[in-house]
Structure 1
């Protein structure tokens, strides 16, 4: 049992059947070790619509037992007559008291488990980045939009992981993370939702950006950031097993920015855009850098699989 207890709203929604199935499973798991919350849920059920039905079932069972009780024996020495009690039948449950299914069924559970990547403002923030890049390029006439977008793109899913998992992102995180569907499975599901939102929007924005000035170093292709972004995201997940999601995201994101900024500050060439485009080409363009990012992704994935038990209670203490 932990010091966390379900809120009155969660208890009330659970007792009347309106709590989503994913949260209901998590609450039931919490009730196995929390007598306080179990008593609150029991009291709420008795006071709600189901309480009337439960009382009727109890009265019917007691009445059936009393009616079938044996009469006093006339002769004390007579052997007792075996009595078979009829099986009491519960009255039909009204349709209104049946627990309704969660709206959306399987799709609703997937959307709920996906977390803030789909339910919160995350998708809007990513769309704003993509639209802002297009507005800066076409409306502001800025030639360095493509290198700038490619430099920021790998950090977007890294930040999404930090914002979609943990106590700060989900008020029911403690019981959700300790449920059978929690742990590494939940982390990967929310990470997949982050990638599903950010990858298409940023890639399409990169394709729609105008070409760089031919007199400047050419920036990498619009999709060249995908493997680096995947590697940085998996590195964040691997490091999260040691220090938590937000700290891991800060370390990985800060390392990426440092790897970009340090050469820019020491390069003798004038023009920040030209230096940024040249530096990104070293990291993204060609078979060798891409194979390096692929190897890093595979290594981080193996580390995730080897330490999968470390995510069972991630950020629940």
Structure 2
């Protein structure tokens, strides 16, 4: 949508009356997120309808319940901050709750325990093999009907779809990257590949999952990407894990290939962003 586009009074009235075609209504709702002038125009049109007085009463009751009449400005500001925090927690919450957080701690704890019990190479292999799929699992468990009881409602709003999926992905990465990177730094040195060599593969697998999800759903997409990675490094012979990890992760050619995969997955995700309006 062009940044110079603005809604007209007639279009706002049709939207308020429920006669605007659905594609145009979606486009308008998306535009209202960043255009205060059009938002005011549409709000005035809605207030002019028969439902306007009812909506005004509901809004007044909600505000009165949130901030008592006569409350100091500081209290109102605190209420606003609390509301923003609750919205952020709702948006990101499923990404950092539940079984995924436990799985993250298990991977990190097992690698540290093994490393400090004398198995430094095995601990490094454990971290490098499983760290790339930890964010993928977090993304899979944080978005979709299986993760959010209010998914259908959230997906139907302008802030749903890809925006909500990216918010939860960011929450997953914000938790997993520091924990797993710190785990790698705390492991005893054991040669190549470096303990942080999983970062680009992890990002590539996460973005590939996001790009594939509109076609298959998040659970299936994560099973394909994470399962493909684990099969590549763990099968057929567990005794050769170190050599396979070195081929996949060590050196400029391998890391350059993962960087290219990150860029390609990001481009595919951007090209298919509208498909998230229909993701289930």
TM-score (norm 1): 0.62
Which structure has the highest helix share of the two? 2
Going from structure 1 to structure 2, the CA distance change for 1:181 and 1:94 (only over 3 Å counts) comes to closer
> Per the alignment, do residues 171 and 137 of structure 1 end up closer, same or farther by CA in structure 2, a change over 3 Å counting?
same
**Corresponding residue of 1:313:** 278
Q: Is 1:98 matched up with 2:65?
A: yes
User: What 5-or-longer segments of structure 2 have no aligned partner?
Assistant: 1-53, 68-78
* Residue 117 of structure 1 pairs with residue 95 of structure 2: yes
- Indicate if the aligned counterparts of 1:206 and 1:222 stay in contact, CA closer than 8 A: yes
Partners of 1:102 and 1:174 in 2: how far apart?
A: 26
Cα RMSD (Å): 2.6
Aligned to 2:177: 199
**Is 1:287 aligned to 2:263, yes or no?**
no
In structure 2, the partner of 1:142 is 119
Alpha-carbon spacing, 1:94–1:312, altered in 2? closer, same or farther (3 Å): closer
Distance 2:62 2:131 in 1: 52
Instruction: Tell me the matched-pair count.
Output: 213
Structure 1 unmatched runs, 5+: 1-44, 46-52, 55-92, 213-217, 266-270
Q: What is the 5 A alignment of 1:107-256? A: 107-138=85-116, 140-143=117-120, 144-212=122-190, 218-256=191-229
For residues 66-92 of structure 1, what are the alpha-carbon distances to aligned partners after superposition, in whole Å with 9 as ceiling and x for unaligned?
A: xxxxxxxxxxxxxxxxxxxxxxxxxxx
Distance 1:95 1:225, change over 3 A: closer
Partner residue of 1:48?
none
Residues 8-31 of structure 1, C-alpha deviations (whole Å, 9 max, x = no match): xxxxxxxxxxxxxxxxxxxxxxxx
Distance in 1 (CA, whole Å) between partners of 2:94 and 2:110 is: 22
1:163/1:169 contact within 8 Å kept? yes
- CA displacement at 1:135 relative to structure 2: 1.6
- Contact 2:96–2:138 (CA<8 Å) still a contact in 1? no
SS at structure 2 position matched to 1:115: helix
